């Protein structure tokens, strides 16, 4: 009996010692987290700026998305090689969350509380990032350019430190719906989307333009089940002439492939999320399946040979990204990196967390986007529209004009502006 008690206390003391030792050997052990002397901005030193991100680098969600953060980092290396921002080099700490929200919480806590990053940049995923948005806002950490099209990031009252980036799914749906209304009136329109907020938001957008009865058949898939035969079969049975697809690239390929097997002909209109030509083409065993597919996007077409942004990004990709295969993910990563550098410059010579948020809210950034960014003190959403493109002869060729709209019942309006000019050296001019 005495042995038990002795053993118990010894073991308990061991836990205590081990934890204490490990705590002492790494990092400061101030009394709790009470911020004594917060004069120093976390993540900012005289020579560096450190930002963090959570990304699915491994696991079922990794394909494609794992290429975004290396591309962003490549752009940062390019900027660092040219002197950095106001003399500070950018350090990008990316942590793998395997698209598991519990892991996201852990790594974001680690980035904020242990690595003390200046901001979280481009956190990827709707289910993953919704788990950390409250924590980041409570701790007043800039939560910039979330890699997701959910409307959750656009709530400046509730989440003042959070900013979206890519076009909201609902906005996309509205633009596609408006185009269908004008060009395919009277035809049977169907929907094939992911069974989560991505699909639901996009469908809601389409319905805002076409009305609830405008969709003949709406089928959903889940990422855990790669057999979409039943769903495509249902679409074929419904006789769909136009099918809006809110799919990730893998499922775009599966849908197109299965439709070909089942001899289901329809005009596919694919979300920007799942429409990158190089990615989808790499997954299809029959590349001509992509011909004639309509897609949309808010960045220049990746197959363009003349767009100066593409040229710049391809150059950086070659020099600093180990010449990774060029596709929409790489373009996306670098565009986000460019926007962050713009924001950092606008935040001033001695940026603080508050100053970068104010700089973004002031808006006015121009860059590779073919639609404007909507940042203001009342709008944290990001890109406000898309332009449609058609895949012709293996190239994604934009047509018509870009359109912008909001998440609600506002009209779909043509946008006649152009993308921003490429600054010298590809680095935003200091503001």
By C-beta, is 193 or 385 nearer to other proteins?
A: 193
**Distance between CA 162 and CA 126 in Å, rounded?**
13
Residue 201 Cβ vs other proteins, minimum distance, rounded to whole Å: 11
By C-beta, is 20 or 414 nearer to other proteins?
A: 20
Residue 267 Cβ vs other proteins, minimum distance, rounded to whole Å: 21
| Local structure of 261: helix, strand or coil | helix
**Distance between CA 373 and CA 397 in Å, rounded?**
22
Give the pair of three-digit tokens for residue 192: 């094939």
Maximum Cα interatomic distance, the chain, rounded to a whole number of Å? 86
**Distance between CA 392 and CA 47 in Å, rounded?**
48
Give the pair of three-digit tokens for residue 78: 């390019």
Count of Cβ atoms closer than 10 Å to residue 84 Cβ? 18
By C-beta, is 9 or 421 nearer to other proteins?
A: 9
Distances (CA, A) of 431 to 24, 111, 342, 348: 42, 28, 8, 8
Residue 242 Cβ vs other proteins, minimum distance, rounded to whole Å: 22
| Local structure of 29: helix, strand or coil | coil
Which residue's structure tokens are 């001033």?
Answer: 348
DSSP state at residue 316:
H
Residue 142 Cβ vs other proteins, minimum distance, rounded to whole Å: 18
Residue 358 Cβ vs other proteins, minimum distance, rounded to whole Å: 24
Residue 418 Cβ vs other proteins, minimum distance, rounded to whole Å: 32
By C-beta, is 288 or 411 nearer to other proteins?
A: 288
By C-beta, is 150 or 387 nearer to other proteins?
A: 150
By C-beta, is 204 or 262 nearer to other proteins?
A: 262
Residue 386 Cβ vs other proteins, minimum distance, rounded to whole Å: 23
By C-beta, is 73 or 154 nearer to other proteins?
A: 73
3-state helix, strand, coil in the chain (%, to 5): 40, 20, 40
Angle at 58 between CA 224 and CA 140, to 5 degrees: 100
Residue 214 Cβ vs other proteins, minimum distance, rounded to whole Å: 21
**Distance between CA 171 and CA 348 in Å, rounded?**
32
By C-beta, is 329 or 381 nearer to other proteins?
A: 329
Burial (0-12, 13-18, 19+ Cβ within 10 Å), 63: middle
By C-beta, is 51 or 180 nearer to other proteins?
A: 51
Residue 54 Cβ vs other proteins, minimum distance, rounded to whole Å: 12
DSSP 35-99: ---TTSPTTB-SSEEEEEEEE--SSTT-TTGGGHHHHHHHHHHHHHHTT-BTTBEEEEEEEE-TT
């Amino acid at each position: 009996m005495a042995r038990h008690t002795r053993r118990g206390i010894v073991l308990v003391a061991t836990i205590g010692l081990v934890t204490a030792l490990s705590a002492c050997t790494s990092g400061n052990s101030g009394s709790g987290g009470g911020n004594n002397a917060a004069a120093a901005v976390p993540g900012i030193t005289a020579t560096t700026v450190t930002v963090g991100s959570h990304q699915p680098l491994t696991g079922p969600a990794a394909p494609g998305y794992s290429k975004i953060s290396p591309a962003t980092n490549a752009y940062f290396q390019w900027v660092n090689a040219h002197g950095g921002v106001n003399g500070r080099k950018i350090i990008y700490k990316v942590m793998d969350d395997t698209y598991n929200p519990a892991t996201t919480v852990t790594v974001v806590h680690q980035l904020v509380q242990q690595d003390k990053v200046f901001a979280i940049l481009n956190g990827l995923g709707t289910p993953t990032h919704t788990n950390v948005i409250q924590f980041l806002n409570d701790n007043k950490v800039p939560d910039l350019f979330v890699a997701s099209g959910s409307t959750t990031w656009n709530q400046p009252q509730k989440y003042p430190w959070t900013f979206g980036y890519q076009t909201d799914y609902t906005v996309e749906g509205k633009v596609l719906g408006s185009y269908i209304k004008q060009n395919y009136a009277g035809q049977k329109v169907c929907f094939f989307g992911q069974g989560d907020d991505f699909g639901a938001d996009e469908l809601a957008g389409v319905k805002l333009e076409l009305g609830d009865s405008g969709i003949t058949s709406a089928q959903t898939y889940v990422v855990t089940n790669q057999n979409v035969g039943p769903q495509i079969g249902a679409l074929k049975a419904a006789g769909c002439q136009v099918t809006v697809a809110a799919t990730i690239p893998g499922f775009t390929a599966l849908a197109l492939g299965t439709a070909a097997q089942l001899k289901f002909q329809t005009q596919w209109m694919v979300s920007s999320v799942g429409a990158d030509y190089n990615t989808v083409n790499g997954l299809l065993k029959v590349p001509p399946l992509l011909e004639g597919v309509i897609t949309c996007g808010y960045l220049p077409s990746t197959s363009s040979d003349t767009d100066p942004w593409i040229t710049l990004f391809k150059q950086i990709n070659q020099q600093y990204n180990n010449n990774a295969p060029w596709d929409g993910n790489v373009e996306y990563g670098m565009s986000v990196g460019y926007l962050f550098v713009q924001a950092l410059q606008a935040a001033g010579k001695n940026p603080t967390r508050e100053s970068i948020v104010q700089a973004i809210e002031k808006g006015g950034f121009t860059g590779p986007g073919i639609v404007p960014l909507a940042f203001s003190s009342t709008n944290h959403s990001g890109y406000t529209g898309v332009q449609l493109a058609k895949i012709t002869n293996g190239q994604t060729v934009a047509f018509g004009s870009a359109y912008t709209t909001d998440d609600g019942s506002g009209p779909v309006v043509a946008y006649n502006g152009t993308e921003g000019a490429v600054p010298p050296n590809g680095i935003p001019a200091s503001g």
